[in-house]
Amino acid sequence: MDLVPKMKNVSVLGAAGKMGSGILVLLLFEIARLKIGQKSKEDFVLNAIDVSQPALLNLLGYVRSQLEKHAEKNIVELREWYADNEKLVDNEEVIQQFVTDVMAMIQTSTRIETTYESKLIFEAIKEDKSLKVKLFSQIKQNNPSAWFLTNTSSIPIGEIEKEAGLNGNILGYHFYNPPVIQKLLEIIKCDNTGNELNDFAIALAKSMRKIIVPSKDVAGFIGNGHFMRDALYALNQAEKLAETEGWAKAFFIIDTISRDLLVRPMGIFQLIDYVGVDVTKFILNSMQPSFPNELLSHDVLNQLFDKEIKGGQYADGSQKDGIFKYQKGRITHVYDFDLEKYVSKEDIEMDCAAKLGELPTLKIYWKTIVRDKNKADYLLKFFKELHAIDSVGANLAKDYGKNSKAIGQMLVDTHVAESAADVNTVLETGFFHAYGPINDYF
């Protein structure tokens, strides 16, 4: 498929945000390939749109740094692109010319009217359906043929399509954070999504070298469909444990189990902090109307939010305080509801280890095993030993693994995912798990 006609004028809504900035950079890579690599005669414009002009200025610095990194990694290809420019002698000259040429295609704006000339609208604003509908409806009225690709991670696409009157010109294009690095892309069609838009979206994703997983248009899709329920299970387990151990130890124990005994890159509560307590709460809220028979909320999240304990990251990427406090990415303190303050990890970890009790003698760590060619053998031995142990820690881990598997299987049984393989791909690729939730270990 020829991508050029639709890529000549593209807008990104929420371009200065964490996801929007990454999407913007990916689109710049694609536009550069079309304009410079394929010597297109067309003019290309990429509109970076956000509500804050200072944030857009900061965005340009980020984009420049990403373009320089991309150029350095792909210098052989870039030298071919600029082979007919005899003035560019060394690699640094090629890199700087590339950055200059690509940066010239960006236009920043705080005005929604900028989108009225765009063929494609990529949206990465906050998870607020009413706001998305308002913006899309306004754009649609002034730009009837525009295609909308929304990065929403939880809101049903069909609801947005219907309420904004988009006549099928919308598709879910759910990147994972950070978009420039993450390979996974969930593509979600609603009932009315046009075939031409779907074909274009797949072609663009393949050009970006993304791993494509289709999801049914059900709130949360595959990724958050699993993650949100996994988080609620962990919160419920911590709540039970807190009755005897207190909240600080409960948080720390469940987080340790979900990381070390399930062999994940980070514990469930650290992941909630990374995503943001507030974001997790909002995603659950957006999913709730679609599941009236399921409670998709938790008092602990609400209380943390009310106490302004929200997690997330600072502009430099460092972690904000959430359920845990961090220093250089490492957990140093745990929030205790009973004391209404953070307590030092060092003050509780020995008691937590004693509570966990006997654990497998075979020690495996996510960082060393995730890419090991013998990973499956190590995991099988580890979980076989875990199942033979009758301790608090082992039993909590076994129950956790079984519940994770049940969530994954539910997503297949309800046709949110087309197969168990798709569920596992999302968790392994999008969340960096060492193995998928639908497995023979639990």
Amino acid at 382: F
Task: Please compute the mean of the pLDDT values over residues 148-159 and round it to a whole number.
Answer: 96
For residue 257, give both structure tokens.
């189990």
CA 21, CA 7: separation in Å to the nearest integer? 17
pLDDT at 329 over 90: no
pLDDT of residue 315: 72
pLDDT of residue 41: 92
pLDDT of residue 313: 86
Task: Please compute the mean of the pLDDT values over residues 157-165 and round it to a whole number.
Answer: 97
Query: Which is nearest to 313 in space by CA: 93, 17, 21?
Result: 17
- Chain-wide mean pLDDT for the chain? 96
Task: Please compute the mean of the pLDDT values over residues 185-212 and round it to a whole number.
Answer: 97
Residue ranges per domain, the chain? 4-215, 223-430
pLDDT of residue 316: 75
Cβ–Cβ < 8 Å for 369, 265: no
pLDDT at 39 over 80: yes
CA 160, CA 148: separation in Å to the nearest integer? 11
Residue with structure tokens 């909002």? 282
Q: 120-123 and 45-49: which strand pairing?
A: unpaired
pLDDT of residue 221: 98
Model confidence band, residue 309 (pLDDT cutoffs 50, 70, 90): very high
pLDDT at 2 over 90: no
Model confidence band, residue 296 (pLDDT cutoffs 50, 70, 90): very high
What are 81-136's pLDDT values in tens digits?
999 998 888 999 999 999 999 999 999 999 999 999 999 999 999 989 999 999 99
Instruction: List b or e across 129-156, with b for residues whose CB sees 16 or more CB atoms inside 10 angstroms.
Output: beebbebbeebbeebeebbbbbbbbbbb
Please tell me whether the peptide bond between 178 and the residue prior to it is cis, using omega within 30 degrees of 0. yes
pLDDT at 439 over 80: yes
Residues 6+ apart with CB under 8 A from 114: 11, 47, 49, 107
Tell me which fold the domain 223-430 belongs to. Answer: N-(1-d-carboxylethyl)-l-norvaline Dehydrogenase; domain 2 (1.10.1040)
Q: 211-215 and 184-188: which strand pairing?
A: parallel
For residue 327, give both structure tokens.
């220093």
Entry pTM: 0.93
Task: Please compute the mean of the pLDDT values over residues 29-46 and round it to a whole number.
Answer: 95
Q: 170-175 and 147-150: which strand pairing?
A: parallel
Task: Please compute the mean of the pLDDT values over residues 264-280 and round it to a whole number.
Answer: 96
pLDDT at 390 over 90: yes
CA 75, CA 91: separation in Å to the nearest integer? 7
Helix axes 392-413, 247-256, angle to 10 degrees: 70
CA 368, CA 422: separation in Å to the nearest integer? 24
Q: Give the CATH superfamily of 4-215.
A: NAD(P)-binding Rossmann-like Domain (3.40.50.720)
pLDDT at 314 over 90: no
